[in-house]
Chains A and B, each alone.
Chain A
């Protein structure tokens, strides 16, 4: 069964550094998403992406965040100047038609020191 894959599985970064989280969505999917989950809290939407542009973003997705689809397979989340509160699990998800259920990757655990 096709899967969403994410790398790295765990990223440790010093506060203030930039970090790039990578995702390979399912190959024929057209809609891509990033979510995050702070330890012990609920999963929160960050951003959705379709047709090479952001469709929607939450209030969490401020100017320190950006997304990119640099080629036909990767979908990246960049966090500039990381803060301690950015420590969380970051999940990438994709779907074929936008209306159906989203399929999640197994996440990147980001630890900011």
Chain B
């Protein structure tokens, strides 16, 4: 069974904190990975793709470890607007469907 597992949280952090989310996946055939964020009752929105070499987009850093089947997201200097659910997502094949984790809820407090 193809699964993406995440710590559901919630993570409650103060503004300015650094927070890290982890995710594991069970299907070694998964080729691509992404982090999406989802606000309450809204659609998933792409945050960033995840590469084995690690990639950074401003305050966000994502990392993929294929040997351990492990994906991470680091958020530095967290803002109130970062409060959301963060979805770890794997993709199957070249036209494949997305497999979503249940998400990790983040609340950033003033």
Asked if B100 and A43 make an inter-chain contact with CB atoms under 8 angstroms apart, the answer reads: yes
Asked if A98 and B102 make an inter-chain contact with CB atoms under 8 angstroms apart, the answer reads: no
Q: B31-57: which residues lie under 8 A (CB-CB) from chain A?
A: 32, 34, 38, 41-46, 49
Q: A48-101: which residues lie under 8 A (CB-CB) from chain B?
A: 48, 50, 55-56, 58, 89, 91, 93, 98-99, 101
Does any Cβ of A come within 8 Å of B64's Cβ?
no
Q: How far is the CA of A106 from the CA of B103 in the complex (A)?
A: 18
Q: How far is the CB of B73 from chain A (nearest CB, A)?
A: 15
Contacts A89-B41, A91-B44, A106-B42 hold; do A99 and B49 have CB atoms under 8 A apart?
A: no
Binary interface encoding of chain B residues 88-105 relative to chain A, with 1 for a CB under 8 A from any of its CBs, else 0: 000100111111111100
Asked if A105 and B43 make an inter-chain contact with CB atoms under 8 angstroms apart, the answer reads: yes
Asked if A102 and B102 make an inter-chain contact with CB atoms under 8 angstroms apart, the answer reads: no
Complex contacts, B95 vs chain A, CB 8 Å: 31, 48, 50, 55-56, 98-99
Complex contacts, B99 vs chain A, CB 8 Å: 45
Closest B residue to A33 by beta carbon equals B97
- A-B contacts counted at CB < 8 A amount to 54
Q: How far is the CA of A33 from the CA of B96 in the complex (A)?
A: 10
B contacts with A, residue count (CB < 8 A): 22
Does any Cβ of B come within 8 Å of A22's Cβ?
no
**B94 partner, pick from A93, A98, A106, beta carbons under 8 A:** A98
Does any Cβ of A come within 8 Å of B106's Cβ?
no
Known: A91-B44, A102-B46. 17 other contacts (CB 8 A): A33-B97, A42-B87, A42-B103, A43-B38, A43-B44, A43-B100, A45-B98, A45-B99, A56-B97, A93-B98, A98-B95, A99-B94, A101-B46, A104-B44, A106-B42, A106-B43, A107-B43
Please give the residue numbers on chain B whose beta carbons come within 8 Å of chain A beta carbons, in ascending order.
32, 34, 38, 41-46, 49, 87, 91, 94-103
